[in-house]
Structure 1
Amino acid sequence: MSHFRDHRLQLHLEKNKNRARLLISCADQPGIVAAVSSYLSEQGANIVESNQYTTDPEGGMFFLRIEFECEHLSSKKEQLENEFTSISNKFEMDWKIAYADELKRMAIFVSKGEHCLLELLWQWQAGDLIADIPLVISNHPDLRETVESLGIPFYHIPVTKETKKEAEQKQIELVKKYNIDVVVLARYMQILSAEFVKEMPYRIINIHHSFLPAFIGARPYERAYERGVKLIGATSHYVTNDLDEGPIIEQDIERVNHKDNAEDLKRIGRTIERNVLARAVSWHLQDRVLVYSNKTVVFE
């Protein structure tokens, strides 16, 4: 860890030691915001950011993200959560409180392509991506030196058709050993099994080099070139058992034209991919993404 990042991280932890985020999903009904706001006020908390969304004013789903500060928060966590249950039960909420000084532990999976990995590591080094990165896992050894130069353990776990199940078991064991909160597939180029996905529902983030739902699966740039597209893009989404069909977190596009061949599309696409993935990961780390019905609400 660089001294610069270490300093930025310490400043962040100190600044946010009394800050938390309350995330709520439930059926829309009168009185939710009033009840939550009153409760936080009674606890001596000050709301510093609040975002809400309703899918349908009549009988839809309601989503709320409140960021608040509360003096001596570390000693009040259990009380805050225990006493909030009366409100959550009344409105039948799915909810959680995330504490800003409890860094999420992120594992990065990568193959040979380095651009998405490097973007995440650059932002992490700069203190812009607030997380712990206890390890990087790859099915190729190519990026070991890049990763280990930053003091991050690198695990090379080869994957073949014959060894895939055994390799995944090793990966799952490492994820558990390091208490990983979120797995980021930075162009990992392998399909995870249902057993792996089940271990971390909506906590595996993928980048797909296509503006989904177009050109799912392999070789999207070649297929986009053959189709003569005028826009290319990238999509970051949570991984589910349906290939490239998980809840979408972020997308972006760039214009191209007839002069761009398949290699040009790949070059342009790499920039889009790394930026889209970094934004999606950052929003997840900040608890800005709520999932419902294979969709997301993203409070940017």
Structure 2
Amino acid sequence: MAATAPSAPLVPRYPTPKPSEKGIHAIILVVCPDQRGVVACLSNFVYQNEGNIIDADYHTDYSAGMFLGRIEWDLDGFAIPRGEPLTKAVGELLSGYRDVRWEVRYTDVKTKIAIFCSKQDHCIMDLIFRHRNNELGACTISLVVSNHEDLRQLVESMGIRYECVPVTARTKEEAEKKQLDLCKGEGVELIVMAKYMQILSDSFLKTHPNVINIHHSFLPAFMGAKPYHQAHQRGVKLIGATSHFATADLDAGPIIEQEVVRISHRDTVEELVRKGKDLEKIVLARAVRAHINHRVLTYGNKTVVF
């Protein structure tokens, strides 16, 4: 039986007038060991401070003993101002819970993205067009980094900064340092590997752990290079694509999104590649959109996508 958490402290009122926050939502994300009262604590916090809940979702993984939650509410008329006062109030609210990990997000704050690519253009151009059509959520594509010059003209024609950083086995450490400096200079929060055909080092990922990758296979099947060739040789009837967080272990990070398409014995490797590229675009866009909208929570090597 889960232990009962101590009562959360009362949150102070802020009676001074605030500017209108109409249409802007706040989001609290929570990950912690399963324990009593977390849902009631979060919902009562919003209610007692005159907030209107827009969306709430919770999940308990009983096998892992973990609780994950997401609650979103309209900030217009909310009693606690956004920023430091709200962050402090949430910290006090959840201070009585054991080993809790939480964050506060706002729907009007744009996530700054860097897209890493090599020579293939289908995933990066799909993301750029979706961004131009406001299909990804509140984000800005601040930078494109590639180890080749092939896509410069295409990307720059969209008004996006393009930086080429060649990578070899001998220059990898220096190249990654330059990449990290570029991302830091642009204030990048999320890196998206849109068919970037390089493996990021453990050192890179420790410095910037927020990296989403697309792999052209339904992981954990057919890891590594040429998965469509592997699938064709194996005679599978379904192929897939997987978007996951990048980790030091190749193609083994927490999975965010997957999709499959049926194939037949008549399909050549080239046809598998063509069908797979369609999947890759869709799966990567779904994963990026979910992350930007603050709907992805991780624990261990798993995710919950609300």
TM superposition score normalised by structure 2:
0.89
Query: Equivalents in 2 of 1:132, 1:260: separation in Å?
Result: 39
Match of 2:27 among 21, 25, 28: 21
Which residue in the other structure is 2:152 paired with? 144
For residue 18 of structure 1, report the CA deviation from its aligned partner.
2.7
The alignment partner of 1:260 has SS state of coil
1:183 has 2:195 as partner: no
Q: 1:254-294, CA deviations, whole angstroms, 9 ceiling, x for partnerless residues? A: 01111011111000000000100000000000010000110
The alignment partner of 1:81 has SS state of helix
Which residue in the other structure is 1:34 paired with? 40
Q: 1:57-105, CA deviations, whole angstroms, 9 ceiling, x for partnerless residues? A: x882111101111226794322111122222111132100011111000
Which residue in the other structure is 1:6 paired with? none
Query: Equivalents in 2 of 1:20, 1:232: separation in Å?
Result: 39
Query: Equivalents in 2 of 1:138, 1:42: separation in Å?
Result: 50
Which residue in the other structure is 2:171 paired with? 163
Query: Equivalents in 1 of 2:76, 2:84: separation in Å?
Result: 14
For residue 234 of structure 1, report the CA deviation from its aligned partner.
0.4
Which residue in the other structure is 2:107 paired with? 100
Which residue in the other structure is 1:61 paired with? 66
Which residue in the other structure is 1:5 paired with? none
Q: Name whichever structure is richer in helix by fraction.
A: 1
The alignment partner of 1:112 has SS state of coil
Which residue in the other structure is 2:88 paired with? 82
1:273 has 2:284 as partner: no
Identical aligned residues as a percent: 46
Residue correspondences, number: 284
Which residue in the other structure is 2:55 paired with? 49
Q: Report matched runs for 1:218-233 at 5 Å.
A: 218-233=225-240
Query: Is the contact made by 1:44 and 1:70 (CA closer than 8 Å) also made in structure 2?
Result: no
Query: Is the contact made by 1:108 and 1:186 (CA closer than 8 Å) also made in structure 2?
Result: yes
Query: Equivalents in 2 of 1:15, 1:155: separation in Å?
Result: 37
Query: Equivalents in 2 of 1:64, 1:16: separation in Å?
Result: 24
Query: Equivalents in 1 of 2:92, 2:132: separation in Å?
Result: 42
Cα root mean square deviation, aligned: 1.7
User: What are structure 1's unaligned runs of at least 5 residues?
Assistant: 1-13
Query: Equivalents in 1 of 2:239, 2:144: separation in Å?
Result: 29
Query: Equivalents in 1 of 2:157, 2:77: separation in Å?
Result: 38
1:114 has 2:121 as partner: yes
Match of 2:249 among 217, 233, 242: 242
Query: Is the contact made by 2:22 and 2:76 (CA closer than 8 Å) also made in structure 1?
Result: no
For residue 17 of structure 1, report the CA deviation from its aligned partner.
5.5
User: 1:17/1:102 Cα in 2 relative to 1: closer, same or farther (>3 Å)?
Assistant: farther
